[in-house]
Structure 1
Amino acid sequence: MSFRAIEKVFRNNHAHWVGDGFRVKQYFPLNQPETFYQRFSPFILLDYNEPFFFRATPFEVGVGPHPHRGFETVTFAFAGKVEHGDNLGNSGVIEPGDIQWMTAGGGILHKEYHEKEFSKKDRILHMIQLWVNLPRKDKMTNPKYQAITADQMGKYFSEDERFKLIVYAGEVNGINGPASTFSPMNIYKVDIAKGRTETFLEPADYNTGLLVLAGEVKINGDSSAKATDFVLFENDGKPFNITGVEEHSEVFILSGQPLNEPVVQSGPFVMSTREELRQAAHDFKSGKFGSLDF
Structure 2
Amino acid sequence: MTALTSRTVARLHPAQRDDIGDLITRRPLPGPDLPQVDPFLFLNHHGPQTYPPNNRGLPFGPHPHRGFETVTFILEGELSHADSGGGESIIGPGGVQWMTAGSGLIHAELSPASFKRDGGPMEILQLWVNLPSRLKMTAPNYVGLQAADIPKVALDDGRVTVEAVSGRWAGTEAPIQSLIDIQMAVVRLKAGGRLETPVAPDRNVFLYVVRGDVSVGGAPVPAWHLAALNDDGDAVRIEASSDAVVLLGHAAPIGEPVFAHGPFVMNTREEIIQAVQDYQAGRFGPPPPV
TM-score of the two chains, using structure 1 as the length reference: 0.90
Deviations 1:206-234 (A, max 9, x none): 1103111221112223x212221111111
Segments ≥4 residues shifted beyond 4 Å = none
Query: Which residue of 253, 276, 280 corresponds with 2:275?
Result: 280
Is there any run of 5+ residues in structure 1 with no aligned partner, and where? none
Q: CA RMSD in A?
A: 1.9
1:228 maps to 2:224: yes
Letter in 1 for 2:92: E
Counterpart for residue 139 of structure 1: 136
Counterpart for residue 263 of structure 1: 258
Q: Take 2:31 and 2:214, find their aligned partners in 1: how far apart are those partners?
A: 25
Question: 1:1-294 maps to which residues of 2 (within 5 A)?
Answer: 2-17=5-20, 20=21, 22-32=23-33, 36-37=35-36, 40-57=37-54, 59=56, 61-158=58-155, 160-221=157-218, 223-246=219-242, 248-292=243-287, 294=289
Larger displacement relative to structure 2 (255-264 or 55-64) = 55-64
Does the CA contact (< 8 Å) of 2:159 and 2:194 recur in 1? no
Q: Take 1:258 and 1:22, find their aligned partners in 2: how far apart are those partners?
A: 32
Q: Take 1:25 and 1:198, find their aligned partners in 2: how far apart are those partners?
A: 26
Letter in 1 for 2:175: P
In the TM superposition, residue 26 of structure 1 has moved relative to its aligned partner by 1.5
Total equivalences in the alignment? 286
Does the CA contact (< 8 Å) of 1:65 and 1:111 recur in 2? yes
Letter in 1 for 2:226: F
In the TM superposition, residue 185 of structure 1 has moved relative to its aligned partner by 1.6
Deviations 1:20-48 (A, max 9, x none): 57432122224345xx34xx111111111
In the TM superposition, residue 61 of structure 1 has moved relative to its aligned partner by 3.5
In the TM superposition, residue 288 of structure 1 has moved relative to its aligned partner by 2.0
Q: Take 1:220 and 1:251, find their aligned partners in 2: how far apart are those partners?
A: 14
Partner SS for 2:24: strand
Between the aligned residues of both structures, percent identity stands at 31
Does the CA contact (< 8 Å) of 1:21 and 1:114 recur in 2? no
Does the CA contact (< 8 Å) of 1:21 and 1:113 recur in 2? no
In the TM superposition, residue 120 of structure 1 has moved relative to its aligned partner by 1.4
Sort the Cα spacing of 1:97 and 1:283 in 2 relative to 1 into closer, same or farther, 3 A: same
Is there any run of 5+ residues in structure 2 with no aligned partner, and where? none
Letter in 1 for 2:174: G
